[in-house]
Chains A and B, each alone.
Chain A
Amino acid sequence: MSLRETSVAVTDPETDLAQHGGGGVTPPPPTPRRRPRGLGWAGRFEIALLVGPALIMFLGFVIFPVAMAAYYGFFRWQGYGTPTDFVGLQNYVTILTDPTFLEALGHNGFIVIASIVLQGPVAVLLALLLNRRMRGQSLIRVLIFVPYVIAEVVVGTGFGLMLQTQGAVNGLLENWGLGALAHDWISDPAIAIWTLMAILTWKYVGFAVILFLAGLQGIPEELYEAAALDGAGYWQTHWRITLPLLAPTLRIWAFLSIIGALQLFDLVYIIWGQYVASTAGTSTMATYMVVNGRNAGNFGFGNAVAVVIFVISLVVALIYQRFVLRRDTAGAITEGKKTR
């Protein structure tokens, strides 16, 4: 894949230019390329010194742990001493045939899709609303963003208490004469995942709104003026101008949302505790990892689960980058390849 891309970029730079509209991405002029070579050892030393700390941190705290997890994943290991009981791919076989893991994977998939479907439209509408001049605009902006700032543990504990069967929400419903609407919001497996989605939406929609507001600021006013002169209506304007020009922001937001949904852990773990998430139908791959790895004391198995989560997230991220984000990041990516 990368080979082909490189060859396209090298053999036919004009297509590349045309793709990016020419203006944004000019091929790097030859002089700056040569300059680093002429800098001598002092310049290289400076580069090494500046890049070094970040590189060491990255290697030591990202690459090394991932490699170690892959290594430990091949062992049956309780965590005491060094691992000795090599079991090959047995842990991976167990994971991928464990119905509990497959359920968790399914929940992650559901959360990925439901997050985008639920939060996206709501956030776009809220952003459009907040983009207009009105009274109390900044207050509403702050209020919508507040849930995103509150710690997950606080949100989880709060909702966990309020949504208990004997909790405040059911109490309120009964006082309002709506007792029929009272449910076991978090313990009924049929609705627990929807409860989770509602909390996730409440928590993260503010982040999407802020991103979209920033995206809206970047749309030139002239386009709206021109559209108005041409007699475009409200929906037409937004459909033809706002949405297309907001699309890069939407795509980045969806990417962040997908990655967040795949790695969801804290809210589930706080609300449903160490054990009952899988029973209530809200378990995620990450809670599965903690329950069956750390809490059960199966550190080898837990590391194998971590690797599986990593690979799944990486594949999803790469596919998204390749097919969806490519238009937005194409410049950055081709640049990187050329200098390499």
Chain B
Amino acid sequence: MTGVRLNEEDRNHMKANKILTGAVLLVAGTLGLSACSGGSGGTNADGKVEMTLWQNSTTGPGQQFWKDAIAAFEKENPNVTITMQSVQNEDMDGKLQTALNAGDAPDIFLQRGGGKLAAMVQAGQLMDLTDKIGDTAKSEISDGSFKAETYQDKVWAMPLAVLPSGFWYSSDLFTKAGITTPPTTITDLESAVGKLKSAGVAPIALGAKDAWPAAHWYYNFALRECSAQTIEKTGDTKDFSDGCWLKAAEDLNDFAATQPFNDGFLTTSAQQGAGSSAGLVANHQAAMELMGAWDPGVIASLTPDEKPLPDLAWFPFPELSGGQGEPGSMMGGVDGYSCSVKAPKECADFLNFIASADQQKAYYAAFSAPPVNKTAQAAVKEPYLQEVLAAYNKAPFVSQWLDTVLGQNVGNALNVAVVDLLAGKSNPQQMIQSVTDAAKKG
């Protein structure tokens, strides 16, 4: 018995040794793997620079713009390699924050500005670009656009496009319904909705599944009801006690009572596929939608032949009597790109490169969106984009999207609260209350 035991123990030893070796190998392998995956890029010993780029375009021409821009930049700077990743727009903020938290951020990424930019700056995640912006970019891009990327007197992102909000509509469907001039007041808009309904067309497409398109309605009503000072102050304090916020919610509630939106707008997404709100406009299933100036490009990617919609036209958000907002004020963002604080210095070079007039023209061609570079703006030929730019340059006050201004927490809560209001799940008072409550969670 003992002999057998000894043998057993010997064998156990051998087995144990083998397992031990295996375990050591496994651990070593894991360490090796993690060593490879850590960090996003940087300068190698041989002077090669590798950078990663996250952008939010998933359309064909949009992705092609980035590929071409990267290729052109790499040709001028042979030691630089940039890897692009397309992140679906709705996933961008969450993924970006996770990556930033993990210290594994991309070197170059989309920057929406506002409270989101402020949070990243406060966390020390962004590269200060104030002294890195080239002279050409400084002279060709307006101060107002840089202001949108400025926080605490420093510039944290390179602006690329101005994307003001307004109505994108099919002029054919408007004509068919007997609407001769685009609505200039909310009453006009309501009567246009009535005419379109009797013509058998869904008047307004709304992608409420993504929440922010519904919230844009509220932002615009708030822009008419609230003064510029109130909006800027609420951005800082997140205090919605000024009566104009409730008034705007009531305005939206009254307007929604006319049932202007497409059937099932609650589960309609904004940009994905023919059933989305942009897709409904692209396929003449709905007459118009309220959207930022990226919409022509999105609509073009969703028409049956993937060409721009021939009868697309634009008008600004209608005026409202009795509000404190200055007429002509616009809601809309400036999309920019930031460098991670850990990014190599070539990141700023790349941003200067894509802000140059030639690249900005290519940007405009790819996205059908108004570029930020004034030289490139001269190349804009679509009447609707010219109108957008004219209105934008004339606007007495341009506010960033409110969810961006308010930051991710309160901004998200506001967006969802607007959807609840439109679905009839809450009333204007409850809507304001739930936004106020959200501040407790962050």
Seen from chain A, the residues whose Cβ lies within 8 Å of a Cβ on chain B are 40, 42-43, 45-46, 49-50, 53, 76, 78-81, 90-91, 94, 98, 100, 160-161, 164-167, 184, 186-187, 189, 271-276, 278-280, 291-292, 294-299, 301
Contacts and interface: CB of A to CB of B under 8 A. Distances in A.
A291 B268 CA distance: 19
B147 interface: no
Contacts of A46: 12, 15-16
Nearest to B120: A80
A81 B442 contact: no
A274 B123 CA distance: 26
Given A165-B267, A278-B416, A78 B441 contact: no
Given A42-B13, A184-B267, 13 more contacts: A49-B23, A80-B101, A94-B440, A161-B275, A167-B275, A184-B263, A187-B265, A273-B210, A275-B412, A276-B416, A294-B97, A297-B93, A298-B441
Interface residues of B, number: 50
A81 B425 CA distance: 38
Contacts of B9: 40, 42-43
B299 interface: no
A161 B267 CA distance: 10
Contact of A53 (B23, B100, B437): B23
B8 to A, nearest CB: 9
Most buried by A among B100, B208, B412, B419: B412
A288 B408 CA distance: 15
A296 B119 CA distance: 13
18 contacts: A42-B13, A49-B19, A78-B442, A80-B100, A90-B440, A98-B437, A166-B263, A166-B275, A186-B267, A189-B423, A275-B412, A278-B420, A294-B94, A296-B412, A297-B93, A298-B409, A298-B442, A301-B442
A296 B413 CA distance: 8
Contacts of A296: 408-409, 412-413, 438, 441-442
Contacts of A189: 423, 425
Per DSSP, chain B at the interface is helix
A166 B285 CA distance: 11
B442 A274 contact: no
B191 interface: no
B133 to A, nearest CB: 25
B267 A297 contact: no
Given A81-B123, A165-B267, A296-B409, A279 B275 contact: no
Contact of B263 (A42, A94, A160, A165): A165
B142 to A, nearest CB: 31
B222 interface: no
A279 B441 contact: no
Contacts of A98: 437
B69 interface: no
B90 A274 contact: yes
Most buried by A among B93, B209, B269, B434: B209
Contacts of A297: 93, 97, 119, 407-409, 442
B257 interface: no
B266 interface: yes
Q: Which 4 A-B pairs have the closest CB atoms?
A: A165-B264, A80-B123, A275-B211, A187-B266
Interface in B1-49: 9, 12-13, 15-16, 19-20, 23
Nearest to B268: A164
A125 B265 CA distance: 39
Given A45-B16, A46-B16, A296-B408, A276 B263 contact: no
A11 to B, nearest CB: 36
Interface string B392-430: 000000000000000111001101100110010100000
A297 B20 CA distance: 43
Nearest to A182: B263
B98 interface: yes
A80 B209 contact: no
Contacts of A301: 441-442
B125 interface: yes
Nearest to B415: A275
Contacts of B98: 79, 294
Contact of B209 (A45, A161, A276, A278): A276
A24 to B, nearest CB: 31
Given A184-B264, A274-B90, A76 B442 contact: yes
Nearest to B264: A165
Interface in B120-164: 122-123, 125
Nearest to B211: A275
Contacts of A40: 9
Nearest to B421: A279
Contacts of A292: 441
Contact of B12 (A42, A278, A299): A42
Interface in B231-284: 262-269, 275
A301 B439 CA distance: 11
Nearest to A183: B264
A279 B417 CA distance: 9
Interface in B93-113: 93-94, 97-98, 100-101
A56 B119 CA distance: 37
Contacts of B440: 90, 94
A167 B413 CA distance: 29
A311 B195 CA distance: 55
A273 B269 contact: yes
A279 B408 CA distance: 19
A29 B279 CA distance: 73
A330 to B, nearest CB: 35
A76 B440 CA distance: 9
B416 A291 contact: yes
A186 B16 CA distance: 58
B210 A94 contact: no
Contacts of B20: 49
Given A297-B97, A297-B408, A298-B409, A276 B211 contact: yes
